[in-house]
Amino acid sequence: MGERQVAELGPGTACCGWNHCGRRLAAGAVDGSVSVYDSHPSPSSKWQVSSASLLHLSRQTLLSPHMKMNAPFSDCSFRSGAGLANEQAIVNVVWLPPEYGDAIACACADGTLSLWEEVAADDQLPTWRKCKVFECGNCHILNVHFGLHLGNLKMVAAYSDGQVKVYELSDSLELDKWQLQAEFQNIKDPISRLGKPACTSASIAWNPRRGGRQQASFAIGFNSDSPHINSCKIWEFEDAHQRWLPLVELGSPEDKGDEVCAVAWAPNIGRLSPQASIIYLYAFMLQSCCIL
Amino acid sequence: MPGMPTDGGGAIVPFRGEPGLGLPPPTVRPIHHGVAPPMFRIYVSWSSGNLLQVACLRAPNSEGAGGAEEVAGSVVEVNLGGGGSGGSESEEKIDEAEMRRIEYGSVPAFALLQSRKNALADAAALSRASVPDHAEWWQYVLEYSKTIGSLLGNADCPAAFMLEDPKAILKVREKPTSLRAAWELLEIFYVDKQLQGWLPERLVDWLADFDSLLSSMGSTTYSKLSNFQKKFINLQIIEDDPDYWNGLSAALSVGWLDTVVNMLRFHGSYQLDQMDNRETENGLVEAVVVLVSTMPRMRPNLPTGKLGQCCKTRPDFIKAWEKWRGQVTKLECSAFWIQCGHQKTRDGLKNLLRIMMGNIKDLTAATSNWLELFASHFLYIKPFTVGFEGMHHLAQKCIQLKPPSGTNGLTGLFIGVLSENPEVVLAECTNNFGPWLVTHAMELLTADNDYADIMLHEERPNLGGISLEELHRLVYAQVLCSHSLTWQIAPTYLSSCLNQGLGLLEILLLKQPIQDNRLVLKTLEICRLYELDNVSTNIMKVAGIYHWKHGRKGSGVYWFQQAHDKVHLDRIAQLLFERIGKSVTDDSFKQWEGLLELLGPDIGSAGGLEFLHRYRDFKRSLQQALDGRSGEAARKTVDFLMQLMRNPSTPQRFWLPLLHDSVELFNFKPNPLMDVAETTLLLKKLRELSMAKLRPDFSSNHLPSHALSSVKLALASNLAYAILEDP
């Protein structure tokens, strides 16, 4: 059974994320830098210092000797965060869907979120460019996730006060123009609305099903001091009322309110069978595992 | 409390399957990531096929004992599949390149068989009364089996250009693989109905080809002979060596007649200097040689070099068999044995005769394992054994007489086949020969076996509604997807899976990287083959944005056009329009001209591109007019200018640049190019522009400050000339 180390991550790495095809890995570090590791060796993957980006560090390719036959992971680094002066640790790195190019979103410890994309001018090496910074005053952006609906890119952002915001990209070529589409708390029943819960992390997963007619939906769960906010819920966009509604709340009575550490959709591969409409969702909670 | 981490394992998420429920324990796979604890975060992501990527991160602030040399994080790729190579014994694992050759080679045969199966099913559906022609189908499967078999190597052909050693006992041949052995075994039992009557002899041949693979069960005839071969060169008196006689009896017991005859001819009595003294002994050896060479064999033909009398029908065989046994008995009772001075020769030859007479005790002693004993039964005791039941019974008896000392995938498969248990056959194939064999051998199992057919095609709720056949095909396809050199052939297998294949195929295609153009073309070709238009559109869009963002604007537009992506193309047209509006210099003209050409006249609902096309024509014509100074070209340019100025879709901010570009035309000598009406129209536009200048939303052009006055002056002089010229 094969097992090989494909890359060694640099010191201070705090989070990472793969792109849609699993050939690129972005790793965020406590010093606010992000390294992008690439499994395709090509002239374009030899990263160089560029003046366009904030900072590029050259990092040697780290490989164990037995892997040299395989594609080495080369890498590039740049610094994220609100600015160079304010070097904030990166807490989450998420790739955008490939329909919007090679782009990542970095959530920083100071609560800001920045979007970066890889661009290149004619015959020049690609560089990473900051497209947009989301700031939110007192609260923090904990996590984001991107989804496609009817050809539009949507972003769900989870905030430290338990708020969920859905943004929509208004320009298909540029990542700098976003419209706030909805804002709500991750609670099913408005009566249970609380004052200000304190959330430390959030997990979001867009329903990956493709196809035009499918309603947009995503699952979200929090890690906070409020059980109502914590429990994982699936939100669906209802066209008739043009708003997001909680479709279902996950969790059995015994584990209700447990902190949610991660959620993920299982790939829905059955196309022709009647089971194709069944939702498979994995929500891993701190104390129990729930598979639907 | 449910889910509390257990003391021993330290698992965060415990496995819910209780031991009492009969569920198998979860498979735990340790991963060697090289990151020292404490672990901070672990990220997991499925890559293609069976590949799982795991990133392990160490707490960024932890002060480890190792200091700076500690690994902060590590990404490990884990292949969860068993891999494609077959072969139960590690020493004969087929190397990766060879396995890929087999994998690629088997695709056309598999695809052809599937298309024939579909064609037959369609024909049966059309004429509901008639059932699919079984005879025909069986022929197709046989053809398929032969094609695949030939990929696995040819056991009969000698290794190329090997000089025949006169002292060789065993012929040097291509090393057989257990993959081929398993395939042939399944073909013999399940497919080749033509040769069913000669099944025992086919099994004897099979054992002759693959006896060397059974070494994991202990010694074999092959190993005995090859050991003796090594010793043989140094032997002075060969017939004194007990291994000589052991080898002879072993070879005879499994029917390797040519080997036996060959070995007997090495007997000392054949040497010229000993002929006279050992005449009787030599006569006896030669008599045995003749008997061995003329042994009746019930088979359709004998390959060249093989010995024995070939009897095609049962009556012929019985006649020859009786006669031959009579001769053997006669030789055994001969008086010449008393005159044979060499004790070992006498005993050895008599032992050979007893084997030929079918003496069970001697056969048991001569053979090395139960499978050899089983084959010797067909040769010397029960040449007419037919039917699975009889064979299975015989196999059980042989196993009792010679209990197996080790396990071997082939013998397990053999017993599974004989016990008429397709589940066991499938399980043995899965465990020992890998997913390639299972996927391809299922066609053999179902060729003429209704039970296996139902078993493999029944939809099982415990497998998520798919059949066993589909499950095994999916497993194999995942193995293919796990390697960058084999993923291209996975679609053939995925498309044959009705329930989940197409969904997996879509995921596979969508996950292909789009950086390499050749790879994109390959992926799109696969999409076209399987009519996955949605997927190909998506891939083209992704390729389009990738090239657009990476400075290859032309490629980007090309892919957006291929995808009929109106949203992006409109947006690009708008971008172009805005950019040109900002600066209309000759340098930028060249830059966007190509893009404009690519975008075509239909893009841009706002009429922006239509304007840009006219503008391009004007600029080209103007260039020609100024270069050539010909009146005709200048007149044509003025026509373009007038069209542009009259057209309401021409944005106002372009008016002044257009007029400024044309100043030289207005001063064209000797005759003015524009008549009074045309000049008046342009002056009117100029006035409109002056009014607009006062509005706050007016966008200023990057033109010299005297632009307006120079245009005004030129137009005025042109008007003057035009009035003079006016008849």
Instruction: Considering only residues B340 and B209, tell me which one the structure prediction assigns the higher pLDDT.
Output: B209
- Does residue B64 lie within any of the structural domains? yes
Asked if the C-beta of B514 comes within 8 angstroms of chain A's C-beta atoms, the answer is yes
Triad A59, A64, A67: Cα angle to 5°: 105
CA separation for the pair B404, B406 (Å, rounded) = 6
Q: Rounded to whole angstroms, what are the CA distances from B536 to A233, B495, B513? A: 33, 16, 13
Structural domains of chain A ordered from first start: 13-62+70-291 (2.130.10.10)
pLDDT at B170 over 90: no
pLDDT at B540 over 90: yes
Specify the pLDDT at position B156.
Answer: 55
CB–CB contact B571 A27 (8 Å)? no
**Which residue in the set A21, A124, A268 is minimally distant from B511, CB to CB?**
A21
- Does residue B530 lie within any of the structural domains? no
- B209 three-state secondary structure: helix
- Does residue B155 lie within any of the structural domains? no
What is the largest distance, in Å, between two alpha-carbon atoms of chain B?
Answer: 147
DSSP B259-305: HHHHHHTTSGGGSTTTTTTTHHHHHHHHHHHHHHHT-EEESS---TT
Number of H helices, E strands in chain B: 31, 7
Query: Measuring CA to CA, which residue among B16, B80, B71, B73 is closest to residue B46?
Result: B80
CB–CB contact A172 B498 (8 Å)? no
- Look up residue B521 and give its two tokens: 């073309």
Asked if the C-beta of B55 comes within 8 angstroms of chain A's C-beta atoms, the answer is yes
CB–CB contact B549 A29 (8 Å)? no
Specify the pLDDT at position A292.
Answer: 44
Triad A15, A18, A21: Cα angle to 5°: 180
For residue B605, the one-letter residue type is S
CA separation for the pair A101, A215 (Å, rounded) = 24
Query: Measuring CA to CA, which residue among A75, A74, A82, A80 is closest to residue A94?
Result: A80
Average pLDDT over residues A37-62: 38
Query: Measuring CA to CA, which residue among B537, B48, B517 is closest to residue A210?
Result: B537
Average pLDDT over residues A16-41: 83
pLDDT at B716 over 80: yes
pLDDT at B65 over 50: no
Rounded to a whole number of angstroms, the CA Rg of chain A reads: 20
**Continuous segment of H or E residues that includes residue A159:** strand A152-159
Residue B122 — very low, low, confident or very high, per pLDDT cuts 50/70/90? confident
- Does residue B149 lie within any of the structural domains? no
Give me the residues paired with residue A117 across strands: A103, A129
- Does residue B706 lie within any of the structural domains? yes
Triad B378, B383, B386: Cα angle to 5°: 90
What is the largest distance, in Å, between two alpha-carbon atoms of chain A?
Answer: 61
**Which residue in the set B71, B77, B513 is minimally distant from A40, CB to CB?**
B513
Average pLDDT over residues B632-646: 84
- Look up residue B5 and give its two tokens: 């981490």
Instruction: Considering only residues B276 and B63, tell me which one the structure prediction assigns the higher pLDDT.
Output: B276
Question: Please, which residues 560-619 of chain B have a Cβ atom closer than 8 Å to chain A?
Answer: 567-568, 571-572, 575
pLDDT at B589 over 70: no
CB–CB contact A1 B568 (8 Å)? no
Q: How many Cβ atoms sit within 10 Å of the Cβ of residue A134?
A: 18
Triad B660, B664, B665: Cα angle to 5°: 100
Domain count, chain B: 3
CB–CB contact A172 B567 (8 Å)? yes
CB–CB contact A120 B31 (8 Å)? no
pLDDT, tens only, B333-372: 888 888 877 888 889 999 999 999 988 999 999 998 899 9
CB–CB contact A119 B575 (8 Å)? no
pLDDT, tens only, B6-47: 343 444 444 555 455 555 666 677 888 888 777 788 888 888
pLDDT, tens only, B223-248: 888 888 888 888 888 888 889 999 99
**Which residue in the set A8, A22, A126 is minimally distant from B550, CB to CB?**
A126
Chain B residues with beta carbon closer than 8 angstroms to that of A211: 534
Specify the pLDDT at position A53.
Answer: 30
Chain B residues with beta carbon closer than 8 angstroms to that of A25: 53, 55, 75
Q: Single out the residue in B317, B350, B385 at which a domain terminates.
A: B385
Instruction: Considering only residues B5 and B324, tell me which one the structure prediction assigns the higher pLDDT.
Output: B324
Chain A residues with beta carbon closer than 8 angstroms to that of B464: 270, 275
Residue A77 — very low, low, confident or very high, per pLDDT cuts 50/70/90? low
As a whole-number percent, the residues of chain B with pLDDT over 90 amount to 21
Complex prediction ipTM: 0.82
Q: Which residues contact A92 (CB under 8 A, 6 or more apart)?
A: A15, A17, A28, A105, A106, A107, A142, A143, A144
As a whole-number percent, the residues of chain B with pLDDT over 70 amount to 85
pLDDT, tens only, A247-286: 888 766 666 667 787 887 776 554 433 333 334 444 544 4
Chain B residues with beta carbon closer than 8 angstroms to that of A265: none
Pick the residue from chain A with its C-alpha nearest to B515: A40
Residue A158 — very low, low, confident or very high, per pLDDT cuts 50/70/90? very high
Q: Rounded to whole angstroms, what are the CA distances from B696 to B443, B664, B684, B691, B700? A: 79, 31, 21, 11, 11
CA separation for the pair A207, A203 (Å, rounded) = 13
Specify the pLDDT at position B91.
Answer: 43
Contacts by B592-596, CB closer than 8 A, 24 or more apart: B594/B554, B595/B553, B595/B554, B595/B557
Provide the mean pLDDT of chain B. 81
Task: Examine the domain organization and report whether B224 and B373 are in the same domain.
Answer: yes
- Does residue B102 lie within any of the structural domains? no
Chain B residues with beta carbon closer than 8 angstroms to that of A255: 2-3
Domain range for B257:
218-385
CB–CB contact A119 B549 (8 Å)? yes
CA separation for the pair A21, A41 (Å, rounded) = 16
CB–CB contact B499 A17 (8 Å)? no
Q: Residues B225, B259: contact at Cβ < 8 Å?
A: yes
**Which residue in the set A22, A89, A275 is minimally distant from B45, CB to CB?**
A22
Its pTM stands at 0.81
- Does residue B717 lie within any of the structural domains? yes
Task: Examine the domain organization and report whether B234 and B381 are in the same domain.
Answer: yes
CA separation for the pair B244, B266 (Å, rounded) = 10
Query: Measuring CA to CA, which residue among B334, B324, B313, B314 is closest to residue B357?
Result: B324
- Does residue B63 lie within any of the structural domains? yes
CB–CB contact A3 B79 (8 Å)? yes
Q: Which residues contact B644 (CB under 8 A, 6 or more apart)?
A: B611, B614, B615, B618, B650, B654, B658
Specify the pLDDT at position B661.
Answer: 81
CB–CB contact A5 B76 (8 Å)? yes
- Look up residue A45 and give its two tokens: 């993957």
* Parallel/antiparallel/unpaired status of strands B296-298 and B309-311: parallel
CB–CB contact B464 A270 (8 Å)? yes
